[in-house]
Structure formats: structure tokens, C-alpha cells
Amino acid sequence: MAKINGNTIKPGMVLQHENGLWVCVKAAHVKPGKGGAFAQVELKNLIDGRKLNERFRSDDKVERVTLEQRDNTYLYAEGDMLVFMDKENYEQISLHKDFVGEDQIRFLQDGMTVVVEFHEERPIGIELPEQVVLTIVEADAVVNGQTASSSYKPAKADNGMRILIPPYMEAGERVLVSTETGEYVRRAD
């Protein structure tokens, strides 16, 4: 296990905190007018599901748990479960949708490679690729003069997500979207 600074905590990280294994669900980095910056972190206990809100300053040290990472392919959803297949030994594992989290489920696509993290042979979390390709299915019309400024317009992607895209783009175009922020990155090749 390695010690990391409190301000480097990101969603999906697993920490040894208060004698338990906790996964970071949300992390917001706050820079108040007075005082030092800190990370406001929502943690979820991996054993009993309790939630905890903590503040970590940049000089706070937190124990990050080293997990075994295995490449898996997302296969399909079955009720409240998501089915993944290990790329090496072809074993299938089912993870509950609540375990994966709505923020990550919206980016899952059939055949997508994700990293499933294990701690002592027990699945602890999943890590998505940094970016995914989505197709724009619906885009608002451009307002006259809008293209002169660097404004973005609302659009709906094929996974139902609403994102902001450049005004020159239309329905049917493929775009890269960040899985961490859910924001448009660039046009897909």
C-alpha cells in the first residue's frame, strides 16, 4: 500500500481509512478564499456500504490500497447486474449496477474493455477508458451569430446523455467524450 496526498484522491480510488476499505464515490476539489485548498470526498465502505464525507487537505496522507487489475470486456446487462468477461481466462463476473455506479454505467458499451480491480480475489471497482465515442442523435439548431463566439450548444448522445458540443456539429456526428467529466473532448476520427 502506498501513501498519497489527500488532494490527489479521485473517484474510483480505494483507500484504507478508519480500519476499513473505502472507495471514493465523489471528489470535489475546493479552493476557499481563506485557508488552504482541500478535497471534499464522499467515501463508500466496500464491506457494509456505509457512506462517509471527509475533507482531506493536500498535506494529509492517505493509504491507497494496491489492487490487482484485470482487463475485462463488458458483455451485457441482466436485471440489476452487469456481466463482464475476463480477457485472459474468459471467466464471467457479474457486478451489481449500484456497485458500478450510474456515472459509469452511462458510458458502458457492448464489447468495451474495462479494468476490473480486485482486492484479495474480490471485485472492488471498475475503471473505464478515459474517453468514449458517442454518436449525436439530437442537436439544437444554431442561433444566428452564435458561431462568431466560442459558445457551445446542447445535444443528446446515443446513450441518452446531454452534452455541450460546438455549434457547427449536427446529429449523426461521432464525438469523443471524457468519462471522468462527461464533457465533449473533440470530434471522433
Distance in angstroms (rounded) separating the CA atoms of residues 182 and 163: 7
* Mean pLDDT for the stretch of residues 169-188: 88
Distance in angstroms (rounded) separating the CA atoms of residues 143 and 152: 11
Banded pLDDT at 149 (limits 50, 70, 90): low
Neighbouring-strand partners of residue 14: 23
Distance in angstroms (rounded) separating the CA atoms of residues 120 and 116: 13
**Beta pairing, strands 122-127 & 113-119:** antiparallel
pLDDT above 70: residue 145: no
C-alpha cell, 119: 482486492
Q: What percent of the chain has pLDDT over 90?
A: 17
Name the pTM for this structure: 0.63
pLDDT digits (tens, 9 = 90+) for 106-142: 888 888 999 988 877 888 778 888 889 999 998 887 7
Query: Which has more confidence, 176 or 125?
Result: 176
Distance in angstroms (rounded) separating the CA atoms of residues 38 and 48: 27
* Mean pLDDT for the stretch of residues 70-74: 92
Q: Match 459558445 to its residue by C-alpha cell.
A: 151
- Residue count of the chain, please give it: 189
Contacts with 36 (C-beta within 8 Å, 6 or more apart), sequence order: 57, 58
Banded pLDDT at 1 (limits 50, 70, 90): low
pLDDT digits (tens, 9 = 90+) for 18-50: 888 888 888 888 888 888 888 899 998 877 778
* Mean pLDDT for the stretch of residues 169-175: 89
Banded pLDDT at 170 (limits 50, 70, 90): confident
For residue 57, CA distances in Å to 3, 172, 176 come to: 14, 44, 33
